[in-house]
Amino acid sequence: MRVAIAKTNKFTLCFICIVMVLTFSNGKLKAQAEPPPYTFGFIPASIEETDVAFPLYNKWHLSGQADLQMVTQGAYENKNPFAYVQRTVIRPWIVYSGFKDMKLWLGYAHNQKYEIDEAGNYETLEQRIILMGTFSQNMPKGSIFEQARFETKFFDDRNGTPQTVPRIRTRFGVNHFLNQHGSDHLFLSPNLSYYAELMLKFASEDYAPNNFDIYRMSVYYSAGITYNLHFLVGGIAQMQLRTNGTQFDIYYGPVLSFKWNIVPKQRETFDDVDGGAD
């Protein structure tokens, strides 16, 4: 038992150290006499997502998942999180689960973004190629998970110039398995979960000189309606630096997600749920 805990703590410590290094290291460090005059804007947003998971080839531990997502938002003066559709997303995945406590993901995301004048958003089609790994550690009444994601975004900026932006995302989260009392409980295998996520971008100097992109936090409740259908409801808050390097947008609002597993699943912890308000 002590050996298992030691390994878990060692892995978590290494993960945190990697996040700190990625956050504070920058090969283009420049001395500045004083920081720029940052400004902040607050934008309510909401995320609705539906996922379908299905087996592909059990002998090779391969499965698939298809995600459909819609993100809505308000603006700096409009506090209705459902006022505008920010984007619609189609995201297919291939998942490899042949390692113990670890899953590898290969995905593609088709992001159709829409113009929102009040928030300074312009219309563009963004495509992403994604590699992701999730490592989970079982606890007596829950689980801990660490996630690393590398993705490259392809899109035209507001001037019509094609941009290629690699991005690194790291996530640390916790799932608490809640008790069920009585035989007439409404939902199956409920969880209370939360995670923190850091995203760093590596764009061209003339497009976005800063590496910091987004810091995101989310808290949510999830459970099964049946052993095939599970849901998540919660909230998200994130701070994003615009490409001008001086404007931080603070997004906040509700999140709702449903997941249908073709193969019945006792518990669904939503470790890979994506908050797409960026």
Check residue 82 and report its DSSP letter.
Answer: T
Predicted confidence at residue 19, as pLDDT, reads 52
| 0.75 exceeded by pTM | yes
pLDDT tens for each residue of 260-272: 999 999 999 998 8
Quick one: pLDDT at residue 181? 64
Least Cα distance to 203 among 163, 244, 147, 246 occurs for 163
What integer pLDDT is reported at residue 119 of this predicted model? Answer: 87
Q: List the one residue out of 127, 60, 117, 125 whose CA is nearest residue 91.
A: 127
Domains of the chain in start order, with CATH, are: 41-261 (2.40.160)
**One-letter amino acid identity for 207?**
Y
pLDDT value at 198 more than 70? yes
Q: What is the DSSP letter of 230?
A: E
| Eight-class DSSP state of 116 | B
- The helix/strand/coil state of 81 is coil
| pLDDT of 25 | 47
Place 48 in a pLDDT band, splitting at 50, 70 and 90: very high
Q: What average pLDDT does the segment 88-113 reach?
A: 96
